Amino acid sequence: MKLVVLKGGEESVPLTQCARAGPHSTRAPGAVALSGDGLRWVLVNVSPSVAMQLSTDARLLRHPGLPDAAVRTVVLTDAQVDHVTGLLSLRDGAPIHLYATPAVFEELTHALPVLPLLEHYCGVQWHVIPVAGESREAVFHIEGQPTLEFTAVATDGPLPRHAAQPASAEVGETIALAVRDLVTGQRFFCARSLAAAGFEAVAWMQQADCLLLGDDRVDGWPAGTDPGAAAIGMLAQLDRVGARRKVLMAMPEWDAGAGRPAGDLARHGVELAADRMEINL
């Protein structure tokens, strides 16, 4: 299994600018592309900058098939704006094969009507991830990836601001994703954050060969949170996770007084993801 981290190329907003802009800043957290054979690819989430990167970044040519227009399979972990509006940039061409939970499809049909718009262009083939109601975990497979087994795990991540019922999150509004290579047995796990993972996701983390954590500051820290203390607590939690590789999509938001460098992450065995970073499992 091969993974390529996509942050949107040179168009990405610098993380330092995002941090200074406060909780209502626009972020481009990017996506990860994964493949069982290095030829056919699946995108996990897609921001507008990532969609642009796929068609303009010649450096991706080293991964056959990735910068090709045929990369039209997407798994969504939630309906956050930064994760789904890149679908509109893929509107020209063949239908998009979209894997998502019923709750996410509901959001993208009504509260943020991306899917009705796409029906006027390329169209969408919906592949349901059956995480809903009492079903908090589901195994599924993706066409063209016969050696990969996917498992969606319900998490308690924050709802998008446009959610139809922001006060009552449904099971499946946010998921973490586990991927197992059926040939090598290697396991990849990605989640929005440790804080929102929940018991089921933590159990999967312990089995992972590679753990990728997103950035739960898209909508800002909760009121009264000390960012430095939260970052230190996150690293302490990661120390207890048995994954062989631990990768963060964004630098923890240390308090201004501490000013801890990226070297602190290395001391905890944690890597900071870079654009086009390759992970081979």
pLDDT above 80 for 165: no
Q: CA-CA distance, 236 to 242, in Å (whole number)?
A: 12
Termini Cα distance of the chain? 5
68-82, 141-155, 156-170, 263-277: which range is least confident on average? Answer: 156-170
**Structure confidence at residue 17 as a pLDDT band (50, 70, 90):** very low
The pLDDT value given to residue 12: 45
pLDDT above 90 for 76: yes
Mean pLDDT of 188-200: 79
Number of domains, the chain: 1
- What domain range is 30 assigned to? 2-280
**Structure confidence at residue 265 as a pLDDT band (50, 70, 90):** confident
CA angle 274, 50, 14 (to 5 degrees): 50
**pLDDT tens-place string over residues 23-65:** 433 344 579 999 999 999 999 999 888 888 988 899 999 999 9
Q: CA-CA distance, 67 to 265, in Å (whole number)?
A: 31
Q: CA-CA distance, 192 to 247, in Å (whole number)?
A: 12
Please report which residue ranges of 107-153 form alpha helices under DSSP H. 114-118
Please report, for the domain that includes residue 135, its CATH number.
3.60.15.10
14-23, 95-104, 186-195: which range is least confident on average? Answer: 14-23
